[in-house]
Amino acid sequence: MSEKLEQTFVQLLQENQNIIHKICRLYTNGEDAHKDLFQEITIQLWKAFPKFRGDSKFSTWAYRVALNTAITLYRKTKRSISTVEFEGRQHFLNDVEYDYEEEEQLKLMYKAVYQLNDIEKALIFMYLEDKDYQEISETLGISEVNARVKMNRIKGKLKKILNPLEA
Amino acid sequence: MKELDLLKKDWQKEGNTFEQVSTNDIYVMIHKKSSSLVKWILIVSILEFLILNGISIFISSKEYDAFVIAHPIIKTLEIINYVVIFGFIILFYKNYKSISTLNSAKDLIKKILKTRKVVTYYIFWNIIFGGLTGTYVGLQGFNEGMKDANTNADVLDTSNIMVVLVFGLFLMGFIWCFYKLVYGTFLSRLSKNYNELKKIDL
């Protein structure tokens, strides 16, 4: 593949790398696994790049390849999530808005999301990224109605994980 | 859901907390080899192909060649086998060509599982075909080898046949277990995800 193509790709990926980081954060546990999946997604994106026409945003295009890699191609076995991982999440709230109760809630929420399965994580990911149901349905290959129904079920599931007694 | 809104808010502003990968790192990465599942399935199936066919090269000998001439049916079976294997190779190639990360997740998993199914049929073919020919050759060879030493009467009795058959079955079972072990780990998560997607879409 030509050098120019390579340059364009590296530039685009560098600018949009947070998408991949976010997927890695959702699907892996620990720094090594994160880096590993990041690399695999990068390779898959690069392999698919010649087919990227530029008629959609790079980020939109990257969602599909990156999620597919996380759901189907990544072969590392997942370790169970440790509580230590969540202690480090504190810095996600910056100092100005530091709110102990909110932070505690967020921590629990992240923990709950980790307990979802691969497909549910993909749906939640797209929801958090503010994607509409049409894009969710196209990416996963399910109908829009079903994506909506499933999303509601996931919300219910998260609620149940957060408040096991109420549900 | 209040907590989910909170998470969404946090999620969208957290971008800068990740350790950023430099353009240089990305250059290095795209020249590395993929370690994806599909690639491993492909590698393992090629290895299987080489090993299964390698065994037949190792066991071929002058005695065996003479044996084949005396039993022309083996030659016919070999030709059938090669035709079938050639068909499998075409199917493998077509399947791998069709796998692309640009498909929807469900399509992609479906294609990978279909590829896997072809590999399964291929293994089945090898186990059954190999097992049956092996047993046939074993029985005939045993029979003829013993004939020379004794009278011209058939020496194969039921207990001899049973021993060869049990051994053959044991071997086939062993290959099957080995293969299950190799692929089982690769594919269990994939099947789980596929079933999940299918469940959503019912």
Domain locations in chain B?
A: 35-200
The answer to the question of residue A71 being in a domain is: yes
Q: What is the pLDDT of residue B16?
A: 62
**Nearest in space to B196 (alpha carbons), one of A118, A152, A113, A158:** A118
The answer to the question of residue A75 being in a domain is: yes
Nearest CA in chain B to A49: B102
And the tokens for A116?
């979802």
**B37 in Cβ contact with A75 (< 8 Å):** yes
The ipTM (two decimal places) reads 0.75
Q: What is the pLDDT of residue A66?
A: 93
Q: Is A70 left (phi over 0), alpha (psi -120 to 50) or beta?
A: alpha
Q: CATH number of the domain that A11 lies in? A: 1.10.1740.10
Asked whether the beta carbons of residue B3 and residue A73 sit closer than 8 angstroms, the reply is no
pLDDT at A149 over 60: yes
What's the domain range around A72?
1-79
Question: What's the whole-model pTM score?
Answer: 0.73
The answer to the question of residue A24 being in a domain is: yes
pLDDT band at A38 (very low <50, low <70, confident <90, very high): very high
User: What would the pLDDT profile of B128-137 be if each residue is shown by its tens digit?
Assistant: 887 778 777 7
Tally the domains of chain A: 1
Q: What is the pLDDT of residue B44?
A: 72
User: What would the pLDDT profile of A72-113 be if each residue is shown by its tens digit?
Assistant: 877 665 444 444 444 444 445 455 556 778 888 888 888 899
Q: Hey, what amino acid is at A15?
A: E
B200 lies within 8 A of chain A by CB: yes
Q: What is the pLDDT of residue A150?
A: 92
Q: Report d(CA B81, CA B87) in Å as an integer.
A: 10
User: What would the pLDDT profile of B5-45 be if each residue is shown by its tens digit?
Assistant: 888 888 887 666 788 888 888 888 888 877 666 677 667 76
Q: Hey, what amino acid is at B147?
A: K
For chain A, what is the mean pLDDT?
83
The answer to the question of residue A6 being in a domain is: yes
Q: How far is B182 from chain A (nearest CA, A)?
A: 13
Q: How far is B12 from chain A (nearest CA, A)?
A: 7
And the tokens for B41?
């399935």
Average pLDDT over residues A127-155: 91
pLDDT band at B185 (very low <50, low <70, confident <90, very high): low
Q: Is A22 helix (H, G, I), strand (E, B) or coil?
A: helix
Q: What is the pLDDT of residue A145?
A: 93
Q: Report d(CA B103, CA B112) in Å as an integer.
A: 11
The answer to the question of residue A129 being in a domain is: no
